[in-house]
Amino acid sequence: MPPPLPLLASPSAGRPLRVTVVAVPLGIGAGERGELEAILSAAERDRAARLVEPVRRRFVAGRGRLRRVLGAWLGADPGRLVFEAGPEGKPFLAGPHAGRCHFNLTHCGDAALLALSPDAAVGIDLELTAPAHTPAWAEQMAGSILAPAERAAFLEHPAGLRPAALLAAWVVKEAVVKGTGAGIGAGVGHLIIAAPPPHASLVTGTLPQRVDLAPVAPPWHVCLLDGAVGALAALACPGSVCQLQVETYGAEDEWPGRSPTADR
């Protein structure tokens, strides 16, 4: 187990990072499914073919809509975007658009969130609450998700609040390891959330809004995204205070001409 890594340190100065979170529903009609499949790469289509429903449909929707959003941001043909993956599988843009937009996708059931930034790597995680998330489940999971120093505070929560507290810690830590690209292979129990992360609103179906995030975790800043009923989500990005914009994936004509490098 690596030594504990505090997620809280003194705030760093610097230019605010711009991050957009797009809520992406993974339901698709038959007609759009064919269109989305057509813009996937050969490797993505092979991967989809190996999946069983409904996971296959969700993968096609997630990757296809990721391509459409990125294509609109970059003014590029979604079907010609080139993705490569880091050593632990984090996809990133390669080819002619390499480095122009950082992104990270999370999905749970039919819901997905896509984080995009022209400035820096981002990590995002979404978990849906479920009846299986009982206090006993939370106490069991706490052994692997929480650092020893965090467990006493966790047990101070009334039993009924422990599942939500555990899920919040889980999404915050997973957002960080997805931001770094390390993934959860090395566990997350060595990460310490040294102060409650700020909350930002995740508002779907409305006009975009901006939220300034308090600096929480140099080099990683984390916030919990509120607003989705029955779900917990967190966003992580490196650097100083972040300007967060929240949008909802909609008709394609809502996305033309977006440029992540423009002053938004």
The size of the interface with ligand COA (CB under 6 A), counted in residues, is 18
The answer to whether the Cα torsion of 241, 215, 141, 154 is positive or negative is negative
CB of 10 to ligand COA, least distance (A): 27
Among 4, 33, 56, 88, binds ligand COA (CB under 6 A): 88
Nearer to ligand COA, 86 or 160 (CB): 86
Helix (H, G, I), strand (E, B) or coil at 94: strand
Among 3, 31, 185, 256, binds ligand COA (CB under 6 A): 185
Which 102-131 residues touch ligand COA, going by CB under 6 A? 104-107, 125
Q: What phi, psi does 91 have (nearest 5°)?
A: -70, 145
Q: Does 62 bind ligand COA (CB under 6 A)?
A: yes
- Number of other CB atoms surrounding residue 25 within 10 Å: 14
| Region binding ligand COA by CB under 6 A among candidate stretches 85-93, 129-137, 197-205, 223-231 | 85-93
Contact by Cβ (8 Å): 192, 7? yes
The continuous run of DSSP H or E covering 232 comes out as strand 231-238
CB of 120 to ligand COA, least distance (A): 14
| Region binding ligand COA by CB under 6 A among candidate stretches 7-15, 92-100, 182-190, 191-199 | 182-190
| Region binding ligand COA by CB under 6 A among candidate stretches 4-12, 140-148, 183-191, 202-210 | 183-191
Contact by Cβ (8 Å): 70, 41? no
Q: Does 31 bind ligand COA (CB under 6 A)?
A: no
Q: Does 65 bind ligand COA (CB under 6 A)?
A: no
The pair of three-digit structure tokens given for residue 45, joined into one six-digit string: 């289509």
What is the edge-to-edge ordering of all strands in the sheet holding 102-108?
A: 102-108, 111-117, 17-25, 242-248, 210-212
Which 7-26 residues touch ligand COA, going by CB under 6 A? none
- Number of other CB atoms surrounding residue 95 within 10 Å: 11
Q: Does 89 bind ligand COA (CB under 6 A)?
A: yes
- End-to-end CA separation in angstroms for the chain: 42
Closest by CA to 41, choosing from 90, 86, 89, 95, is 95
Among 7, 18, 36, 59, binds ligand COA (CB under 6 A): 59
Q: Which residues bind ligand COA (CB under 6 A)?
A: 59, 62-63, 88-91, 104-107, 125, 174, 178, 181, 183-185
